[in-house]
């Protein structure tokens, strides 16, 4: 039935799958974070339901909103925005599957197989299945509404192809951004350019894509165009990955000249100064941490997505959310990986003459400084109303007093090693969906507290609640940090053990 080569390929792929299965389930991370995995599954289910709802409901929504127009044409008119949003979201949430290739390179496995396997696997990502839950029901509804199957089916297949195009396009952009200092810049430029082209009517992307799809629906032969684009994207990904698949790229270390900055100002912090210097170097000298620091800009400007629109200016509970998010952006991103940032040399730290409390306090002060700086830089938000500034202030205090301690405490449950030095191919060392999940309670709780009090009592009381909680945390800081230190000491052996595992 199969030729010899095909059988070989299939066995190879079976091996790969079993390797990954083992890697996943045998890692200490899996065993320690079942709760997190369950949470992820719930989120996935939630989105599936949302998309199903969208798929079945969209036709009615369109008919209601645009009763004069053809629903199919209207839907296609929105596709451009779908594509742009999908692309942008994937950039932050979806990463190319990671595979440790070095051990495979010396074995008799064709590079062709490895690359195609990784790319093929990426096509099976949840992000590609999710849109199907909207696309397929929507197509069914359209056909039920009297549209010809010969029109809708080609459209449906084109949509699936577009989803895959987005999938591979995202990896191309990520490959570019992995080499840049400002890792999210290529994405912003790309999406920005698309939107700008459309907005200034240089290239009317909205109608171009909409009309294109309608044309394909009418003349299915045009489906060859998206297929060609998909093949080109795939081919380009193949080229990028294959180039990375040589041992030199992981063996030959790019030697970077050290740029050292004068960090003597940290000396005023006394006994925690050595750790602060270390943390600052950690952030500045590793790609992953550096791009995280760069993301601060996004955190800072986050309010601009909302405040310019009068709609949000009336939703006062949003002030607390945006306040916590924008002043706590660094806190959440940096804090949740304490102490995993130091996992590479954790054994050394533990055998050194250090006081755990100093080590944690250094991280704490760094986070607090970031909150203060972000708050100060965010003062111009007062332009949108003084209430916003006050809410941001209260949120900043809440971040300092409550979230900082919560996230440090949470760190003691950290069991996943971060490999800062990793240069292996396929590893863009990015952040996945999980990272954002952890931040949710940190933002939702203050937002809920603020929102409910604001609704029941009033704005002043809502501000007061955040302030009181924050100040309580600050007053209790000494006690809390003792408690947290104890927690870290208690899980010392477990952390050392987990951090010395590779996955």
Nearer to other proteins by C-beta: 4 or 352?
A: 352
Binding mask 352-371 for other proteins (x = CB under 8 A): xxx-----------------
* Site track 220-239 with other proteins (rule: CB under 8 A), x = hit: --------------------
Tokens (6 digits) for 183 = 């890792």
Residue 15 engages other proteins in binding (rule: CB under 8 A): no
**34, 258, 261, 456: which one contacts other proteins (CB under 8 A)?**
258
Return the range that interacts with other proteins (CB under 8 A); candidates 24-32, 275-283, 299-307, 387-395. 275-283
How far apart are the C-alpha atoms of 492 and 347, rounded to whole Å? 10
- 484: CB partners within 8 A, 6+ apart: 360, 405, 408, 409, 412
Residues 29/32/33/35 CA torsion (nearest 10 deg)? 160
Query: Which CB, 106 or 260, lies closer to other proteins?
Result: 260
- Considering only the stretches 189-197, 220-228, 349-357, 460-468, report the one whose residues sit in contact with other proteins under the rule CB under 8 A: 349-357
Window 286 to 345, contacts with other proteins (CB under 8 A): 286, 344-345
Among 152, 282, 322, 394, indicate the residue that binds other proteins (CB under 8 A).
282
Handedness of CA 492, 497, 502, 503 (dihedral sign): negative
Q: 2: exposed, middle or buried (C-beta count within 10 Å: 0-12, 13-18, 19+)?
A: exposed
Q: Which helix H or strand E contains 500, and what residues bound it?
A: none
420 binds other proteins (CB under 8 A): yes
# chain residues binding other proteins, by CB under 8 A: 30
Smallest separation, CB 352 to other proteins (Å)? 5
Is the Cα torsion angle 191, 194, 196, 199 positive or negative in sign?
A: negative
**Which among 240, 243, 66, 244 is positioned nearest to 170, based on CA atoms?**
240
- Check binding of 26 to other proteins (CB under 8 A): no
What tokens appear for 414 in the block? 């950290």
Q: Which of 2, 4, 351, 478 binds other proteins (CB under 8 A)?
A: 351
Q: Is 273 in the site for other proteins (CB under 8 A)?
A: yes
What does the buried/exposed string (b/e) look like for 168-194 if buried means 16 or more CB atoms within 10 Å of the residue's CB? bbbbbbbbbbbeeeebbebbeebbeeb
Phi, psi dihedral angles at 400 (to 5 degrees): -65, -45
Q: Could you tell me the smallest distance in angstroms from the CB atom of residue 418 to other proteins?
A: 12
- Residue 500 as a binder of other proteins (CB under 8 A): the answer is yes
Give the x/- contact pattern for other proteins in 66-105, rule: CB under 8 A. Answer: ----------------------------------------
Contact indicator for 336, 438 with CB cutoff of 8 Å: yes
**What residues make contact with other proteins under the rule CB under 8 A?**
253, 255-258, 260, 273-274, 277-278, 281-282, 285-286, 344-348, 350-354, 420-421, 493, 496-497, 500
């Amino acid at each position: 039935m199969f030729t010899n080569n095909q059988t070989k390929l299939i066995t190879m792929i079976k091996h790969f799958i079993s390797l990954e299965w083992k890697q996943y389930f045998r890692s200490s991370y899996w065993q320690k974070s079942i709760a997190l995995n369950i949470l992820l599954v719930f989120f996935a289910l939630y989105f599936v339901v949302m998309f199903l709802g969208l798929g079945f409901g969209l036709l009615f929504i369109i008919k209601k909103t645009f009763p004069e127009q053809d629903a199919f044409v209207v839907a296609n008119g929105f596709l451009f925005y779908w594509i742009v949003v999908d692309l942008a979201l994937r950039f932050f949430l979806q990463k190319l599957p990671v595979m440790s290739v070095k051990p495979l390179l010396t074995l008799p496995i064709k590079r062709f197989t490895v690359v195609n396997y990784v790319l093929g696997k990426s096509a099976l990502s949840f992000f590609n299945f999710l849109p199907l839950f909207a696309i397929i029901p929507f197509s069914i509804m359209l056909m039920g509404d009297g549209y010809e199957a010969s029109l809708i089916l080609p459209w449906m297949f084109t949509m699936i192809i577009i989803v895959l195009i987005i999938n591979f396009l995202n990896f191309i952009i990520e490959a570019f951004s992995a080499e840049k200092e400002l890792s999210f810049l290529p994405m912003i430029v790309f999406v920005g350019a698309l939107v700008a082209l459309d907005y200034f009517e240089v290239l009317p992307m909205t109608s171009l894509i909409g009309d294109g799809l309608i044309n394909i629906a009418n003349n299915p032969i045009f489906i060859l165009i998206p297929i060609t684009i998909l093949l080109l994207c795939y081919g380009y990904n193949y080229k990028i990955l294959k180039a990375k698949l040589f041992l030199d790229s992981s063996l030959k270390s790019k030697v970077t000249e050290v740029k050292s900055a004068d960090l003597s100002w940290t000396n005023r912090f006394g006994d925690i100064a050595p750790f602060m210097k270390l943390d600052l170097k950690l952030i500045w000298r590793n790609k992953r941490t550096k791009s995280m620091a760069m993301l601060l800009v996004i955190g800072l400007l986050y309010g601009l997505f909302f405040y310019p629109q009068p709609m949000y200016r009336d939703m006062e509970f949003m002030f607390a959310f945006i306040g916590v998010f924008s002043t706590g952006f660094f806190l959440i991103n940096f804090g949740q990986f304490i102490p995993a940032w130091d996992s590479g040399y954790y054994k050394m730290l533990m055998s050194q003459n250090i006081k755990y409390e100093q080590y944690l306090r250094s991280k704490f002060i760094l986070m607090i400084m970031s909150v203060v700086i972000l708050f100060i830089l965010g003062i111009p938000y007062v332009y949108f109303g003084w209430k916003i500034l006050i809410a941001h202030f209260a949120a900043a205090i809440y971040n300092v007093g409550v979230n900082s301690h919560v996230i440090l405490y949470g760190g003691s449950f950290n069991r996943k090693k971060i490999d800062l030095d990793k240069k292996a191919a396929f590893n863009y060392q990015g952040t996945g969906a999980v990272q954002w999940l952890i931040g949710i309670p940190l933002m939702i709780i203050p937002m809920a507290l603020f929102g409910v009090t604001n609704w029941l009592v009033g704005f002043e009381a809502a501000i007061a609640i955040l302030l009181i909680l924050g100040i309580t945390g600050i007053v209790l800081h000494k006690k809390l940090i003792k408690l947290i230190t104890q927690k870290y000491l208690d899980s010392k052996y477990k952390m050392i053990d987990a951090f010395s595992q590779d996955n």
